[in-house]
Chain A
Amino acid sequence: MSELIVENVSKSYDGRKIIKNISLTLHEGELVSILGVSGGGKTTLFNVISGLTEPDEGRVFLDGEDITGKPGRISYMLQKDLLLPYRTVEDNVALPLLLRGEKKKAAREQVRPYFEEFGLEGTQKQYPAQLSGGMRQRAALMRTYMFSQNVALLDEPFSALDTITKSSMHGWYLNIMEKIRMSTLFITHDIDEAILLSDRICLLTGRPGEITEEIVIREPKPRRKDFNLTEEFLNYKREILAALDR
């Protein structure tokens, strides 16, 4: 059981309020998107949730435990893969285990079975520079998963990829999420991506950023391949665009 609760979080930098009264709940196995413009405070919110920065007000709870300002409980994945260039893919994804104090050999042993699941079979001994952008993001997600099987924060993980790679990554992502059921908070500024992947979408708007609306995507998972070409999809998109206009 793992449930992330963010309660009334506010944060200012240099006297300017970036986010205001943010509350949200992430249930087990759920994917919730935070949709908003770049520079709207999404990353600040992530830093608060991951414990890297203390909020001015509000708390963050994971499974009932107060983890406000405590790094080391929830990890994240960014647009940049941040794989260490001098470690092989295998040793990169095993890094969270090494940081926890596991021996190198045991850590490699533990990550091995997941390579196939993440579509990274055969890359174990390669260096990140030898992988394509899409493969590197897969490895970055796998590393996040090795850190915690429960909750992950993804900050525009696919936005640096070209449209074609991005679309194939979406397919891969939906597929893997069916298998690993990781509760995920997903930051994006891409409306289509949000509708395609999410169970719920929170709109983060205004300055300071506030969650002004929550939209539930009722399309069951696993989603049809052509979901983004359907009338329902377009209706969701209309609804979101209208809400953003307000």
Chain B
Amino acid sequence: MRKRLQNITSAINTLAALAALLILWQIVCVMGIVPGFMLPSPVQVARAFAGDFPLLMSHLRVTLTEAFAGLFCGVAFGFVMAVLMDRFDRLYKAFYPLVVLTQTVPAVAVAPLLVLWFGYEMMPKIILIVITTFFPVTVGVLTGLRSADRDTMNLLRSMGAGSFQIFRYVKLPGAMGQFFSSLRISAAYSVVGAVISEWLGGFNGLGVYMTRVKQAFAFDKMFAVIFLISVISLLLMKLVDFIQKKCMPWEDAHES
């Protein structure tokens, strides 16, 4: 009860700060401190958003499809990698440095290559998203699996548990918290990754829309699409939170 109250008050504070910022921004624009063609006012952005709403939604559908497909494959891949590296120390020693290496290559640099190899359709975009999203999951889940309590594992062994049972009853559930933290990051990466890959080549999607309005110097539409992207990322992260709450009910359990 008290926690809920705290949540509400903190939400009120955030909303108030946001509203103040928007009002300040509107004032700056109305008073002409920054020229209108460079910085559109919040009202203009809202108008642009409403005007292009159907178009934005159709692009959004493409971007989200890419993001979800990429996220799903990336998370699955990252998870399997983590489990294998935890199980086989050899694999860990061989592949972990390589996994880290993949993250030192900037996504923007790889995207044009992927376009050249796989064309302008979905494939190169999904691959790019997989590259950016698998990493947090691999690292998070691996850390979770490796931090399993030794005494607990020994106790289960004394009860005759095999290594798969120890994985199932101790390691895997123990890594859930880490998994969801990583998933939250990966979910945000997936949208950004999709947009970046669309910048560099494609026919549909919010990234393509972005390049088009940029070429037309339509700043209000630029802001509208940026706003949309961040809202979508935020919603995705909230969705992960929600799923986590459902999957880990013990997190809320405390001595009464």
Contacts and interface: CB of A to CB of B under 8 A. Distances in A.
A98 B161 CA distance: 10
B97 interface: no
**Chain B contact patch, size range:** 20 to 34
B152 A84 contact: yes
A240 interface: no
Contact of B165 (A74, A84, A85, A99): A99
B155 interface: yes
B155 A71 contact: no
Of residues A71, A73, A86, A95, which shows the largest number of chain B Cβ atoms within 10 Å of its Cβ?
A: A86
Contacts of A75: 155, 158-159
Contact of A74 (B149, B156, B158, B248): B158
Which of B156, B161, B173, B250 has the most chain A CB within a 10 Å cutoff? B250
B255 interface: yes
Interface string B150-170: 011011111111000100011
A86 B255 contact: no
Nearest to A53: B154
Interface majority SS on B: helix, strand, loop or mixed? helix
B253 interface: yes
A68 to B, nearest CB: 14
B236 to A, nearest CB: 25
B158 A76 contact: yes
Nearest to A126: B253
B219 to A, nearest CB: 50
A82 B158 contact: no
Contacts of A127: 249-250, 253
B42 to A, nearest CB: 45
A126 to B, nearest CB: 7
Nearest to A79: B151
A50 B154 CA distance: 10
A82 B160 contact: no
Interface string A26-51: 00000000000000000000000011
B169 A84 contact: yes
Interface in B199-250: 248-250
Given A86-B248, A126-B253, A52 B151 contact: no
B154 A52 contact: yes
A72 B158 CA distance: 5
B254 interface: yes
A25 interface: no
Among A78, A99, A132, A147, the most chain B Cβ lie within 10 Å of the Cβ of A99
Nearest to A49: B158
A54 to B, nearest CB: 14
Interface in A122-172: 126-127, 129-132, 147
A96 B165 CA distance: 11
Nearest to B154: A52
In this complex, the member of B170, B176, B255 whose beta carbon has the largest number of chain A beta carbons within 10 angstroms is B255
A86 B172 CA distance: 11
A82 B173 contact: no
Contacts of B249: 127
B256 interface: yes
A179 interface: no
A76 to B, nearest CB: 6
Contacts of B158: 50-52, 71-72, 74-76
Nearest to A100: B160
A99 B155 contact: no
Contacts of A73: 160
B159 A86 contact: no
A72 B160 contact: yes
Contacts of B174: 86
Contact of B250 (A52, A86, A99): A86
Q: Which residue, of B149, B169, B174, B254, has the highest number of chain A Cβ atoms within 10 A?
A: B169
B151 to A, nearest CB: 6
A99 B253 contact: no
A126 B223 CA distance: 49
A80 interface: yes
23 contacts: A52-B154, A52-B158, A72-B158, A72-B159, A73-B160, A74-B158, A75-B155, A76-B155, A76-B158, A82-B155, A84-B152, A84-B169, A95-B159, A95-B169, A96-B159, A99-B156, A99-B160, A99-B169, A127-B250, A129-B254, A129-B255, A130-B254, A130-B255
Interface of A: 50-52, 71-76, 78, 80, 82, 84-87, 95-96, 98-100, 126-127, 129-132, 147
